[in-house]
Amino acid sequence: MKHLHALLLFLAGCTLLIACSKEMSHGPGFPTCDYAPYTTNSSFSYIDVNKTQDTISYTLTVSGDTTIKGTTYKIVGDDSVFFCSSCKDGNYTQIASILTFQGYKADSLQLTYLKETAPMGSSWSDTVTVSNGTLTTKAILQHTITQKGVTKTVNGKNYLDVIAVKLDASAIVLNNPVSIGTISTSYYAKGIGLIEADQEDDTIKLVSYILKP
């Protein structure tokens, strides 16, 4: 399940679970990148609950920076999974090496999983290469903001200024998009990051967090 969370944070996911240092802030009225405050040594504890109520608990920690193709990313994970996140001007991107959904698999993905300044109802998409057995094709991952500026309760705690992003996937078959389905709906709280990620078989919820300066 932790691998799924890393995916949701990445795609949302990853879930994954989603990241920049606070020096990205510009001032009032400008995007601050506060929807993923991944400063080094900050940590985020989650539970992953499936349909049968089986629960896994784990903590993801920001271990430092890495540079990929000239862009600085934060490394977030634990001893078994990790992903890399970055943010600039309110656009949040992540890199991970896992995506498995409905028989499709992709490697080394780089996606824009959140746009802080985009209005509710707006959408954007990323195109990736996926494989299903011997078939290799393109897939379209569409992100849609379904809620913005709302309050959401997770594990009995109210989080303010929440943005919800739904992620849908389609595979290109014979040059036509064929829907794979909804991968997740993820919720990001300002100043905290990912607080919940819902998908068909699992729900990931934030339990506690520690933010380092």
Domain with residue 92: its CATH number is 2.40.360
Tokens of 46: 């989650």
Q: pLDDT at position 174, please?
A: 83
- Predicted confidence (pLDDT) per residue in 48-98, tens digit: 999 899 999 999 999 988 887 788 888 888 876 667 788 988 999 987 654
Q: How confident is the model at residue 15 (pLDDT cuts 50, 70, 90)?
A: very low
200 vs 11, 53, 111, 154, CA distance in Å? 15, 13, 21, 18
- Report the number of distinct structural domains present in the chain: 1
Q: Residues 133, 162: contact at Cβ < 8 Å?
A: no
Q: How confident is the model at residue 30 (pLDDT cuts 50, 70, 90)?
A: low
Domain that holds residue 30: 2-210
Tokens of 102: 């409905």
Does the pLDDT of residue 101 top 60, yes or no?
no
Q: pLDDT at position 146, please?
A: 98
Tell me the one-letter amino acid at 208. S
Q: Residues 185, 167: contact at Cβ < 8 Å?
A: yes
